[in-house]
Amino acid sequence: MRHTLPIAPQFYVTAPQPCPYLAGRMERKLFTALQGEYAERLNDSLSKQGFRRSQNVLYRPSCAECSACLSARVRVADFVPSKSQKRAERRNADLRREATSPWATEEQYALFRDYLDSRHADGGMADMDIFEFAAMIEETPIRSRVIEYNAHHPDGTVDLAAVCLTDVLDDGLSMVYSFYDPERARTSLGTYVILDHIKIAREAGLPYVYLGYWVPGSPKMGYKANFAALEVYKNGEWQNIGDPAAHSAAMHPLSTDPIAEQVARISLPDSRPIRR
């Protein structure tokens, strides 16, 4: 009798470093390499368990005394835009979407630098050069797209307004990283990009749009709670966010289980070939 063995990646833990979301705290990540012929299947499986992709690595927060970071996703079928989100759609009606292969350009990097300098000058990406930017965009072992939003002006000129690196999962779209023209912030362009991804997912018949981590108590992440039909991955399962104020960012020495227990509970895909 033949038995199929699960894919068995090795998991590691980063050294503690300052948290980018909550002041005075230290973050730690559980991570594994994303490579080989089963990379796409592993990414699909672990994304459903709160992991995120960065180049060829999958990671999930695993801080010693904090469990504030919660992976968030929108249920596409149940999503209804709010009045303010409808205004964001109207304000950005001049934009045209173009989906391309994950290939970095100088125009993208220039926009990326403007975005960082305006909104995240003290963040972890502040010193990223064009080669590191290209690696962020291009080093992907799975099905990824760069989705650009261009403003077309009456005189025929075109300006790049926003970019999102997007992974295509078996159950949705994962917005890996997005950035936009800071001069268009008043049009709620960041919100518009999320709304457009919900539209893309609906047209493709995909049930979810993964937004990354929502962090209660973090002003940087607060906007994600404004989206209807939002779920968060908490206590090992996806659940409706409910009242955002009900989620605590308090620290406690028993907030997270030991690393060995966390790894033991991760569900891995098997190694059977994918039939297409």
Q: What is the pLDDT of residue 276?
A: 44
- Co-location of 79 and 16 in the same domain: no
Mean pLDDT over 79-103 rounds to 96
Could you read off the pLDDT of 111-152 as tens digits, one per residue?
999 999 887 656 667 788 999 999 999 999 999 999 999 998
Tell me, yes or no, whether 107 lies in a domain: yes
Are residues 172 and 217 located together in one domain of the fold? yes
Question: Is 269 part of any domain?
Answer: no
Pairing of strands 144-152, 95-100: antiparallel
User: Pairing state of beta strands 237-240 and 230-234?
Assistant: antiparallel
| 154 or 178, which is more confident | 178
Instruction: Name the band, by pLDDT with cuts 50, 70 and 90, for residue 185.
Output: confident
d(CA 20, CA 23): 7
Residues 89 and 214 in one domain: yes
Question: Does one domain contain both 45 and 180?
Answer: no
- Kindly state the average pLDDT of the residues 20-29: 91
Helices 83-91 and 189-204: crossing angle in degrees, nearest 10, is 100
CATH of the domain at 125: 3.40.630.30
For residue 90, the enclosing domain spans 72-246
Q: Which residues contact 69 (CB under 8 A, 6 or more apart)?
A: 21, 61, 63, 213, 214, 215
- Do 203 and 77 belong to one domain? yes
Helix runs in the chain, H state only: 39-47, 83-91, 106-119, 130-138, 189-204, 259-264
If you average pLDDT over every residue of the chain, what do you get?
A: 91
Q: What angle do CA 119, 125, 129 make, to 5 degrees?
A: 115
Residues 33 and 80 placed together within one structural domain of the fold: no
- Answer whether residue 158 is part of any domain: yes
pLDDT exceeds 60 at position 2? no
Does some domain include residue 126?
A: yes
130 occurs within a structural domain: yes
Rounded to an integer, what is the distance from CA 96 to the centroid of its chain? Answer: 22
Same domain, 55 and 183: no
Residues 65 and 79 in one domain: no
Confirm whether 19 is domain-assigned.
Answer: yes
Choice between 84 and 250, residue whose per-residue pLDDT is larger = 84
Q: Report the share of the chain in percent with pLDDT over 90.
A: 73
Do 142 and 116 fall within a single domain? yes
Helix-, strand-, coil-residue percentages of the chain, each rounded to 5: 30, 30, 40
Is residue 275 included in any domain, yes or no? no
87 plus 43 within the same structural domain:
no
Q: Which residue type occupies 224?
A: K
Higher pLDDT, 1 or 242: 242
Domain count, the chain: 2
Q: Is residue 260 part of a domain?
A: yes
CB atoms near residue 27 (< 10 Å): 19
Distance of CA 90 to the CA centre of its chain: 25
Are 225 and 90 contained in the same domain? yes
Closest residue by Cα to residue 44 from 268, 238, 197, 229: 268
Q: Are 195 and 120 part of one and the same domain?
A: yes
